[in-house]
Amino acid sequence: MTIGIAGLGEMGGGMMDRLLLAGRPASGYNRTPEKAAPFAARGMRVAASPKALAAECDLVISMVTNDAALEAIAGGENGILAGLRPGATWVDASTVSPPAASALEARVAPSGATFLGAAALGSPLTIARGQLLIVIGGDEAACARVRPALEDIGPTVRRVGTAAQAKVMKIALNLNLPIQMLALSECVLLAEKNGIPREVALDVMLGGVLASPALAYRAPFILDMPEKAWFDVGMMQKDLNLALALGQAAGVPLPATAVTSEMLSATKACGWGDYDFAVLFYTLARMAGAEDATPRARGGS
């Protein structure tokens, strides 16, 4: 099976790394060619366009930022839809709206190829450690056909239903991340304002049963922000807005999600929109009048 990845950013690049480590024949496309260069040096074929990528691959995986970016690689004379061949499978792992996934599924069908919705549940660190969870949705036979390749990227692959439902699952899971970070920030700042050093409070909280795996690897960013955001504020708010829209349509109140989204707006207003969303702590610290209410230099420099 020849595999291609469209979008070689933090997550798509991590997926490509896993495929190359597994010895899979792989091709890649990225809007900015320099991101493809390190993988090309390791044997990845570089496709000149999304169409060219689809034309040479049995399995195409896309990982881009939002609905607009997905449409940019899907449509037009150089898009994936123009290159898909009969019998191929397109797995979109981007965090996009469920209607966007349903629409693409319908547009792919006449080509004789199959579209599957997917979600990559983890971070660049999770991928590197071989711990990524992948959720897929769509035609059951197609899901079974691509499962071995996806398992080379992440060892756990779960089918949840339709292509659109895979996107719902991703959005529902993602809203947990900033809500947990905001709650932890409240805990740490409450302790700090009552005389307990920030580092001590954080160490105690991460050493107990309340520390989820997600917090365990992101909470240390409170003390030293990463040089490059794993999941920046703008992208996180995009996902929360997708969740809020789903909640309104389904009649599900999401009060914690709404408050967290407003805190992300405040974070942007502080000028920290390109930081990892763990910078939420400093937005709250500034509101609380904490002595140290500015993010530490990223990367420790």
Rounded Cα distance between 120 and 134, Å, is 5
Residue 16 and residue 57 in contact, taking contact as beta carbons nearer than 8 Å: no
Give the number of other Cβ atoms within 10 Å of residue 129's Cβ. Answer: 11
Q: What is the largest CA-CA distance in the chain?
A: 66
User: Tokens in use for 250?
Assistant: 């389904």
Give the residue numbers spanning the domain of 253: 175-300
Query: Both 191 and 155 in a single domain?
Result: no
What are residue 136's DSSP bridge partners?
Answer: 118, 159
Position 169 in a domain: no
pTM of the model: 0.88
pLDDT at 232: 93
270 Cβ partners below 8 Å, 6+ apart?
282, 283, 286
Q: Are residues 195 and 246 in the same domain?
A: yes
- CATH code of residue 267: 1.10.1040.10
The pLDDT value given to residue 300:
42
8 occurs within a structural domain: yes
Sequence length of the chain is 301
The pLDDT assigned to 298 comes to 57
The β-bridge partners of 137 are: 117, 161
pLDDT in tens, the chain (301 residues): 899 999 999 899 999 999 999 999 999 999 998 999 999 999 999 999 999 999 999 999 999 999 999 999 999 999 999 999 999 999 999 999 999 999 999 999 999 999 999 999 888 888 988 889 999 999 999 999 999 999 999 999 999 999 999 999 999 999 999 999 999 999 999 999 999 999 999 999 888 777 788 888 888 899 988 888 889 999 999 999 999 999 999 999 999 999 999 999 999 999 999 999 999 999 999 999 988 888 975 544 3
Count the domains in the chain: 2
Let me know whether 151 and 181 are in one domain: no
Question: CB–CB of 134/63 below 8 Å?
Answer: no
CB-CB contact of 203 with 241 (8 Å):
no
| 187 and 91, same domain (yes or no) | no
The count of C-alpha atoms lying within 13 angstroms of the C-alpha of 20, restricted to the half-sphere facing its C-beta, is 19
Residue 128, both tokens? 């590197």
Please provide the DSSP assignment of 147-181 as one string: HHHHHHH-SEEEEEESHHHHHHHHHHHHTHHHHHH
39 domain residue, yes or no:
yes
45 backbone dihedrals φ, ψ, rounded to 5°: -80, 135
**Is residue 92 a part of any domain in this protein?**
yes
Q: Please report whether residue 168 resides in a domain.
A: no
